[in-house]
Each structure stands twice: as C-alpha cells, then as structure tokens.
Amino acid sequence: MEKTTVLITGCSSGIGLGLAARLAADGARRFKGKGVTLCRGGRHPRGSSVAPGVGSSVALVRVAALSPTVFATMRDVAKGEQLLAHLGGCCPDTLEVLQLDVTDPRSLAAAARRVQGQRLDVLVCNAGVGLMGPLETCSDHAMKTVFDVNLFGAVRTIQAFLPAMKRRRAGRIIVSSSIGGLQGLPFNSVYCASKFAVEGLCESLAIVLQPFNIHLTLVECGPVNTSFLANLQRPDPEGSELQDLDAETRGLYRRYLQHCQSLFRETAQEVEEVLQVFLEAISTPCPPLRCVTTQLFAPLSRLRLANPDGSAYVRAMHDFVFGHGGAGGDQP
C-alpha cells in the first residue's frame, strides 16, 4: 500500500497528540518512512543534527537522508515529551516533530520548507484555543487570540500548503471544528464566533477546491475527554473579574459551569472514539464536508434547521442548560 504523508498542527496534547501517535504507529505501514527520534538528555546519534530551539531535556534528532511521513507539529516542541510517552517511550521511524506556531508566519514558512519536496497528502488543522465566560469580561487581547489561532491560524496553515496540493491536483485538508461552529453555546460567544467563521471558510473553500481533487472535511467535535476544558481561558465565578457583572448573569454563568462539568462527566467522548472519525476522513475516497463525532446535540441541530428564525433553538438550548423557565439570579 502506498504510504501517506500527513502534517498535523496542535499535537502537544489531546486529539492532535492522539492522531499523530495513531498514524505514526499505523499497523498497515501506510506511513512507512524514517524521520526523527525524540532523545532524552544531551546524547545524539552519530550523523544527526539537533533541531534548533530544543532544550536539553528533549532533543529532536534528524537522521540524515531519511524522510518521515507523519509530521507532528506544536508551538512548544518541549511538549514533545508527552507524545513520546504516548508512544511508549519509543519514537517510530515514521514520525518527525516540528516546531510550528500557527500565529507566526515565519514559523509556518519554516515548517513548509521542511516539508518541501515531499508529497503532502493530508493536512490536519487541529490547533485551537478556547475562551469561556460572560461577553462583558472578554478582553480585546483574549478575543483576538482566539481568532488568531482558531480562524487565522487555519487560514495561514492552509495558505502555506495548499499551492503544492493544487499543483499535484490531489490532497485532503481536515479541519478540527466543533459543535460550537454549528450552533451557539451559552458563555462561548467568542469561541463559537471563531468556529462559525471556520465553518464558513471551509465550506466556501471546498467549492473552489473541487476541480483540483482536493477534499476538505470539517470534523465537528462535542465534549471530549482532553485537557481543552481545563486549559481554556475562563473567569472564576467567584473571582474579581466578575465583581462588576450583574448578579443574574453571574448566577447563569455559575450554573453553566456546573452544567459543563456534568456534561463532560456523563457524556464526553474518549479521544480514541473521536480519532476514528479523523481516520475515516483520511482514508475514505470521497469524504464528506462535515463529520459530527457525537449525536448528543442532534435534536437541537434538527430544531435549528426546522425553525429557521432561531427562536425555538434559543429557547430549547436555554432549557437544556438552565432548566425549563430557569431564571439566572445569583445564588448564595
């Protein structure tokens, strides 16, 4: 079977880390090749070179004249240790870890140069950040960061690798999206706005890419057991950030956080389950534009389509999160 070359952004944790490990360890050897070894300490194999910017605890060692076919990229390559641990402490000969910050054009250009000359079959735009909380508390900086990573980061990444795919008239682009890109979620206004924008970007682009035989697929995830929820920026409901906020909104926000904890505890998918959707998007001859990983929100999605004016969805989502007719007064 012909090998497939894949580049994935956002591989330091979660879905990106799991997908990189899964592809690099592919049993069918579709990703056969040799690349780098993640080495601990300062000892490196003879004839190898250490990637610049790597600390002494983790070194990325490029073995001369050999080419990997899974490029796992991340903003901070020191976090490559987590990927190595996920692979049982041994780096397969199919993997190379690259530094790539999707907000930095120079970083993207360097990654593109590294891949240049190899046929990139699959580009997975997975880097993303979250922002939760009442809109009044979201700073300009935080909002710009969300859009810089989630939307413009995806744009920059596609721009860097699309021309080569067009010249070959082949390839596929997979973009990590969210249920929050299909429907509004309370206290996720800015995050949902960035994902709605990603959905529009990709749907528009897919139309243009059809004659080039380049398939674009959005993978829309719901709650997943990763560190995403723990790492996203959000104000403490009891903290000073909300001291000037009205009591009713504070109460709604507190109840929403409780709802999130319950939802993740009871319904969150495991990463392995979500990875299966990505793998199908990679291997299916003609993948769809959209793949939803969970049917948890399907009734709300159908309601949204059945009632185009949106009012029924707003009421139903409010009841789903806060209860029927629930007011949001601050709770002692």
Nearest CA among 196, 215, 197, 195 for reference residue 206: 215
Closest CA to 164 of 212, 198, 199: 212
Cα end-to-end span (Å), the chain: 63
Amino acid of residue 6: V
Tokens representing 167?
């010249």
> What is the number of alpha carbons within 13 Å of residue 97 lying toward its C-beta?
31
Nearest alpha-carbon partner for 237 in 330, 144, 317, 145: 330
Q: Who contacts 237 (Cβ-Cβ below 8 Å, separation ≥6)?
A: 250, 253, 254, 257
**Under a CB-based contact definition with an 8 Å cutoff, are residues 171 and 123 in contact?**
yes
Catalytic entry in 191, 253, 256, 313: 191
Helix (H) / strand (E) containing 173: strand 171-178
Integer CA distances (angstroms), 36 to 12, 61, 65, 70, 80, in order: 16, 5, 11, 10, 12
191 included as an active-site residue: yes
**139 exposed, middle or buried (CB, 10 Å; 0-12, 13-18, 19+)?**
exposed
Active-site residue numbers?
A: 191
